[in-house]
Structure 1
Amino acid sequence: MKYTIDIEHYRDLAQQKQKEHKKFLGTLKKKSPKNLDKITREIHNEVFRDIDCTTCANCCKTLGPDFKEADIERIAKYLRMKVSDFETKYLRVDEDGDKVFQSMPCPFLGSDDLCTIYEVRPKACRDFPHTDRKKIYQINHLTIQNELYCPATYEFVERLQKRLK
């Protein structure tokens, strides 16, 4: 049975705790335990045992991935399209020069909130929300930003903070 994740509730919580979380994450590089990577991996796994992304899909509805050439080629091949046709149909170049979707939500998000190209999805989608990354303190800005869109990221920071206190 699918349950619904209250995105607005998590966004409100993330906004309320943004300063606190930013300060906490900022201390990780200097004050973190030597086994921080192991701890973050454990917490990441805990969070994703509790949160099913397919009951949310907010990242697919609001955040577009940055497409690398390998992503474009792989997806175009999967869809049996020419790379140029795929780019024309789905992508645009943003203000930073990155290739992104022309519009959101993701055109490959099904009505059931499942990815229709999951096997070949972009690397940015596979890596999101980056909470299992080594040296998590190197992407504090990204973690704080992702909390506003991803309930799992918020839960990750909350649990990490409790574990390290």
Structure 2
Amino acid sequence: MGEVKLDNWQKKSAEHQKKYKQLLQRADKNKVLKQLPDLHEEAFTHVNCLDCAACCKNYSPRFKTPDIKRISKHLGMRESVFIDTYLRLDSDGDYVVKQSPCPFLGADNYCGIYEVRPSDCERFPYTDEDVLLKRPQITLKNSTFCPIVYYVLEKLIDG
């Protein structure tokens, strides 16, 4: 596998969307799933999320009931107050943050609730699990703003 260069990656990702879509549709799922843990780890050696935080700046995770319970307890708030203060229902009926960037994102790109963050945040960018293949639309969208997803997809194409 060749080296993945991260300079100008957003432009390259936009240009490679068709390739990514074909990869996700045609991939040998078992082969790809075996590669993901190592590619995921490798990507994180090249990308520091604290330099980017595009996910936290532009998108919201879903806040599921266990997330809401855990975070509101951590913040010392009643669940209803936490929901009223920070969340809204989206078109899918999921709780998401009212505004972007995420209200818990600090100026230094650190998360103020990192230890108790939503499951979606903990799992993002899904490059070490089957979501990468099972939800290709999400993977394609994520590849446009997350250099980790870009890196993993480029490695899989080179593969």
Aligned residue in 1 for 2:141 = 145
Secondary structure, counterpart of 2:103 in structure 1: coil
How many matched pairs? Answer: 154
Q: Say if 2:29 and 2:133, in contact at 8 Å, map to a contact too.
A: no
Q: Say if 1:37 and 1:136, in contact at 8 Å, map to a contact too.
A: no
Instruction: Tell me, in whole angstroms, the C-alpha distance in 2 between the residues paired with 1:135 and 1:153.
Output: 12
Select between 60-69 and 32-41 the one with higher mean Cα deviation.
Answer: 32-41
TM-score normalised by structure 2 residue count: 0.91
Q: Say if 1:37 and 1:135, in contact at 8 Å, map to a contact too.
A: no
Aligned residue in 2 for 1:19 = 18
From 33, 41, 56, give the equivalent of 1:45: 41
Match for 2:150: what amino acid?
Y
Alignment of 1:73 with 2:69, yes or no, is: yes
Instruction: Tell me, in whole angstroms, the C-alpha distance in 1 between the residues paired with 2:153 and 2:43.
Output: 10
TM-score normalised by structure 1 residue count: 0.87
Unaligned runs of at least 5 residues, structure 2? 1-5
What is the Cα deviation at residue 26 of structure 1? 1.0
Secondary structure, counterpart of 1:41 in structure 2: helix
Secondary structure, counterpart of 2:88 in structure 1: strand
Unaligned runs of at least 5 residues, structure 1? none
Instruction: Tell me, in whole angstroms, the C-alpha distance in 1 between the residues paired with 2:34 and 2:125.
Output: 17
Instruction: Tell me, in whole angstroms, the C-alpha distance in 2 between the residues paired with 1:128 and 1:37.
Output: 16
Alignment of 1:118 with 2:117, yes or no, is: no
CA deviation vs aligned residue, 1:40-98 (integer Å, no higher than 9, x gap)? 11111110111111111010000101110000010000000000000000000111111
Instruction: Tell me, in whole angstroms, the C-alpha distance in 1 between the residues paired with 2:64 and 2:77.
Output: 17
CA deviation vs aligned residue, 1:96-137 (integer Å, no higher than 9, x gap)? 111110111000001100001000000000011101003742
Which 4+ runs in 1 deviate beyond 6 A?
none
Aligned residue in 2 for 1:108 = 104
Considering only aligned residues, what root-mean-square deviation do their CA atoms show, in Å?
A: 1.6
From 136, 149, 157, give the equivalent of 2:153: 157
| Identical amino acids, percent of aligned pairs | 40
